[in-house]
């Protein structure tokens, strides 16, 4: 049997200002993750609707189906880049 850790990985916060700052940081992180998740979910729903033919949102930007998927993938890459940027800004705080 292994010995339990002698010291906890995270020590309880004694300072009220530090606890408040950590709480705000957790809230900001949660909101950032939620926003990115919602945007990615919406992009997925639009892709599925576009693939099934329910909507033709990209027709004003491109005439053929291949061009429409190209525009969609460019938009998807932009969303992924935004998500990565958001994740890095959350993780670095």
Inside any domain, residue 44: yes
Q: Per-residue pLDDT for 93 more than 80?
A: no
Q: What is the pLDDT of residue 86?
A: 72
Boundaries of domain holding 64: 26-91
Count of structural domains within the chain: 1
If you average pLDDT over every residue of the chain, what do you get?
A: 78
Q: How confident is the model at residue 3 (pLDDT cuts 50, 70, 90)?
A: low
Residues in CB range of 43: below 8 A, 6 or more apart:
75, 76, 79
Q: How confident is the model at residue 72 (pLDDT cuts 50, 70, 90)?
A: confident
Inside any domain, residue 73: yes
pTM: 0.59
The CB-side HSE value for 3 (13 A sphere, CA atoms) comes to 4
Inside any domain, residue 30: yes
């Amino acid at each position: 049997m292994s010995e339990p850790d002698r010291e906890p990985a995270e020590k309880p916060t004694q300072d009220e200002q530090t606890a408040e700052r950590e709480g705000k940081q957790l809230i900001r992180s949660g909101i950032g993750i939620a926003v990115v998740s919602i945007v990615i979910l919406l992009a997925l729903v639009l892709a599925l609707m576009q693939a099934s033919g329910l909507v033709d949102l990209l027709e004003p930007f491109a005439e053929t189906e291949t061009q429409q998927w190209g525009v969609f993938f460019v938009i998807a890459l932009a969303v992924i880049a935004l998500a990565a940027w958001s994740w890095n800004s959350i993780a670095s705080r």
